[in-house]
Structure 1
Amino acid sequence: GRFALKKRVLLAKQISNAIEELDLDGVNIDIENLTEKDRNAFTDFVRLVRKGIPRHKEVSVAVAANPSGWTKGWHGSYDYENLAKHADYLMVMAYDESRLAGPTASVGWVEKSIQYALTQKVSPQKLVLGLPFYGRCWMKGQSNPQAIPLYLVKSLVKRHNGTIIFDTKSQSPKAIFTIKHDKKGPLPPGTYTLWFENEQSLKAKINLAQKYNLKGLGSWSLGQEDSSVWNKVFKNI
């Protein structure tokens, strides 16, 4: 990321050339794990990209959810207010909440992330709420979780006679199961806690997007969802 920002004039030009040559609709800029030291350079890079392509082409920026208003580290690299001046919208990556076993995106955490963005003088119509189409699975005794796409959750839990509990406070489901052996699955033997998303948890977050009149919804990432969400969750939005 830092190497890119050092050469941001050249990179912005390359992006604008690609958009023109390939007749693309625009570009989403997603550079992660910078720090507050890169804040101004990153904003300037977005400015250069916006300046270099026609106004009818779209520039969007993926930003870390920041429910606590952190100004240091990765979260500090995103100047919401000034990025929004150059971008058509910011996509708030409202997922990966928990480092230890816990929700991927609890409803309270997501709401605080939206509220923070609005305090940064960003119009609701410049905010897109990113939804997780995956869960995180923690093995007992291990600290590093594994991402599980939503389309695998039902079969994985059923195969291992797991129990699903819906946590009303976070509006998130979790499954607990033990794998003795599994030739079909992505996980080694062990006891697991899997926090994921279902129809109810996704609807709770979509309700927040409607409550705050946000521009729309995004996801990480298409292809990881359970196909049923399109008819059961998104059909009537």
Structure 2
Amino acid sequence: MFWVLLVFWTICSGSGSDVCPCERQELCRQIREERDFEVFVFDVGGKKWQSYNWSMVTTVAAFGKYDAELMCHAHSKGARLVLKGDVPLSYIVDQDNRTAWITEKVNLAKSQFMDGINIDIEHQVEEGSPQYRALTALVKETTEIFHREIPGSQVSFDVAWSPNCIDKRCYDYVAIADSCDLLFVMSYDEQSQITGDCVAMANAPLSQTFNGYFQYLDLKIDPKKLVMGVPWYGYDYSCLNLSQEGKCSITKVPFRGAPCSDAAGKQKPYSWIMKQVNTSMSGRLWDKQQLAPYFNYKDESGQIHQVWYDDPDSVCAKAGSVKSKGLRGIGMWNGNILDYSDDPVAQQQTAAMWNALVAC
């Protein structure tokens, strides 16, 4: 009876099997080749991956439902497909729980013919706490077990744009970087803690973004462990007041100790932004200090909004520094939110965003 239930659970959970789903059996072999330069893509489900620029993709982190067709296609292009790894820190403080979680993930990766795991844990942690030590141990043990069980597999860990306890994420960044293969630096949501004027600002201002990397490098973290993450989305803020200088005052929404945050805005995909800017009251504007585009528009009720986002110009300004700083690569959150339709204008805009990752 136990085995009947186990087989039933496996089928219903969609956890994969040892039967290769690809037309060619060799496509189920895990990718082991190391790339000198990473283009790391987060995919959140659906079929938009079919329109990615696969000539540059090296790793896809599957944050949506498992898609065997995506795995086969990624492998046909020599790209890795890695699991999402997320777990409450309170759970993995216990060694047995930690080992069980890692064992479950590595077995899942094997059954789905995947090539590693991206650990995405963004919880607040106090330095020296049991959770602090458990997180460090989790990354170390996950890397050791994945490397042993799936030779050539990749283990990456997502970190904030700066190691300075951003959002109270006070992790042992040096030990974590030493343990895993890559740190994906989320160089976005940089206004999650606003301590100055509560006004709309760029999602990822250039100088602030660069300061974050300088801080990681000051910790003597190998630049070849760092992948720069850029946003393919922006923030739409309702303005309490729009000053003559163009500053948009926003509602105070506290977050993890800060009196104001980007939570006052709504995240909008690049595909929406490109349509909205064309009908806006200002058209595309460029902030020379933050080196980012923005625009103002009125909604149907007459409310003024200000939208900050990234486009090929602002992405290029960041991407150009990736190679000059000797970083491992670049990536985005997320690959799905461009317009992959047949519209000629959308096709040009989408191609420009992909090209901005490497052509600057």
- Structure 1 residues 231 and 43: CA distance shift in structure 2, 3 A: closer
Task: Kindly report which structure 2 residues correspond to 1:1-237, keeping only aligned pairs within 5 A, or say none.
Answer: 1-6=88-93, 7-36=97-126, 37=129, 38-54=131-147, 55-66=151-162, 70-71=164-165, 74-76=168-170, 78-99=171-192, 100-141=199-240, 142-143=250-251, 144-180=264-300, 190-225=303-338, 227-230=350-353, 232-234=355-357, 236=359
Task: Note the C-alpha offset of 1:26.
Answer: 0.5
Over residues 90-111 of structure 1, what are the superposed CA-to-partner deviations in whole Å (9 max), with x where a residue is unaligned?
A: 0111111124410100110110
Task: Note the C-alpha offset of 1:174.
Answer: 0.9
Count of residues paired in the alignment? 227
Structure 2 distance, partners of 1:71, 1:234, is 28
Letter in 2 for 1:104: N
Question: 8 Å contact 1:29–1:59 — kept in the other structure?
Answer: yes
Task: Note the C-alpha offset of 1:71.
Answer: 4.2
Which residue in 2 is equivalent to 1:185?
Answer: none
Structure 2 distance, partners of 1:235, 1:123, is 21
Question: 8 Å contact 1:134–1:149 — kept in the other structure?
Answer: yes
Question: 8 Å contact 2:330–2:357 — kept in the other structure?
Answer: no
Structure 2 distance, partners of 1:70, 1:214, is 19
Over residues 68-91 of structure 1, what are the superposed CA-to-partner deviations in whole Å (9 max), with x where a residue is unaligned?
A: x53485331x22211111111101
Q: Which moved more, 1:94-103 or 1:132-141?
A: 94-103
Which residue in 1 is equivalent to 2:255?
Answer: none
Question: 8 Å contact 1:172–1:197 — kept in the other structure?
Answer: yes
Q: Secondary structure at the match of 1:23?
A: coil
Question: 8 Å contact 2:312–2:356 — kept in the other structure?
Answer: yes
Structure 2 distance, partners of 1:57, 1:190, is 50
- Structure 1 residues 73 and 219: CA distance shift in structure 2, 3 A: closer
Question: 8 Å contact 1:104–1:196 — kept in the other structure?
Answer: yes
Which residue in 2 is equivalent to 1:186?
Answer: none
Question: 8 Å contact 2:311–2:353 — kept in the other structure?
Answer: no
Letter in 2 for 1:70: N
Q: Secondary structure at the match of 1:136?
A: strand
Structure 2 distance, partners of 1:73, 1:94, is 13
Q: TM-score, normalised by structure 2?
A: 0.59
Cα RMSD (Å): 1.9
Over residues 129-175 of structure 1, what are the superposed CA-to-partner deviations in whole Å (9 max), with x where a residue is unaligned?
A: 00011001110125310001111112112234443210111110111
Q: Which moved more, 1:222-231 or 1:91-100?
A: 222-231
